[in-house]
Amino acid sequence: MLNLILEPLSFEFMREALATAILLGILCAVVGNYLIVQRMGILGDVIAHAVLPGLAIAFFLGVDIFLGAFICGTLSTFVISWIQSQSRIKVDVAMALVFSGFLALGIMLITLLKSKLDLHEFLFGDILSVTTDDVKRTIIITVFVLILVKLFYKELLFYTFDPLGAQASGLPINLIHFALNGAITLTIVASMQTVGVVLVVSLLIGPGITAYLLVKELYQMMHLGAVIGVISSVTGMYISYYLNVPSGAAIVLVVSVLFFLALFLSPTQGILTRPEIGHRRGRLLSQFKSQNPK
């Protein structure tokens, strides 16, 4: 048993991949909770696909493709906010338009610029190809975002649950809004190599909604979600190693399995274990006994 755990660690690429997966399991869970609370889970999917034009342009210019991805992902959130503020169009419709528009632009740029960008790697992830520089970048992003969340937790909490109240109290809600979107974009950019843009939303949302079924407070969701994110990432990496399957898909499947376990077995909200189920069973048993006396 111990050998099964230690064998993958004998390879440097697995150690670097596991380190990256653990960092992103924590980061995605913390940032993703804000998307869950604001009912904006689809925003992660929009940003994840909106980075494609930035990848194509950065690759063509010979600059860091992750810089291009961050700029383009941030731009997409500005466009969504601008459409929402300048018209009666609802945010979900604006996100759908930006999603399709940026994705189409990315595909067109890749064709026009004759880019040799490996789309498969960015769409589906390839964590086993991470380098030491990638690990360092992930550490910097994770520490930076977590420090900001810690420092401005109260302000973020107020804005997340009551944006109008936060504005009335004098908080710079526009700055908070774009800072939060920037943190989400950074998280997605950091996660592209792990699970890819197609599956990144699952890593952002899955641990948080699993924790939501088990605890009540936001800070508890963050802590438990981070634990679930780490467990999912490490377990998925070992499944990927031993079964020779894509690591991103393996991680997301573990996230999904843990969610459904919580959905069915959560002590307070589980489909099979919620208190009213027990009361209903008790009433049915009482009726059965009264109708079938010995």
pLDDT at 284: 44
Model pTM? 0.84
Q: Comparing C-alpha atoms, which of 176, 188, 184, 186 is closest to residue 151?
A: 176
Range of the domain at 105: 2-291
What's at 18, amino acid-wise?
Answer: L
pLDDT at 230: 93
- The tens digit of pLDDT for each residue in 115-128 reads 676 666 677 677 77
CATH number at residue 204: 1.10.3470.10
pLDDT at 262: 93
pLDDT at 147: 93
Work out the percent of the chain whose per-residue pLDDT is above 90: 21
| Helix/strand/coil for 87 | coil
Per the CB < 8 A criterion, the answer to whether 155 and 166 are in contact is: yes
Q: What is the DSSP letter of 128?
A: G
Give the confidence band of 106 by pLDDT, cuts at 50, 70, 90.
Answer: confident
Contacts of 108 (CB under 8 A, 6+ apart): none
Give the confidence band of 261 by pLDDT, cuts at 50, 70, 90.
Answer: very high
- The tens digit of pLDDT for each residue in 155-204 reads 888 888 888 888 888 888 888 888 888 888 888 888 876 777 767 888 88
Number of C-beta neighbours around residue 216 at 10 A: 8
List, in sequence order, every beta strand (DSSP E) within 145-291.
Answer: none
- The tens digit of pLDDT for each residue in 58-89 reads 888 888 888 888 899 899 999 998 998 888 88
Give the confidence band of 263 by pLDDT, cuts at 50, 70, 90.
Answer: very high
Per the CB < 8 A criterion, the answer to whether 14 and 5 are in contact is: no
pLDDT at 258: 95
- The tens digit of pLDDT for each residue in 212-233 reads 999 988 889 999 999 999 999 8
pLDDT at 288: 43
Q: How many domains does the chain have?
A: 1
Per the CB < 8 A criterion, the answer to whether 68 and 58 are in contact is: yes
- The tens digit of pLDDT for each residue in 125-161 reads 777 777 888 888 889 989 999 999 999 888 888 888 8
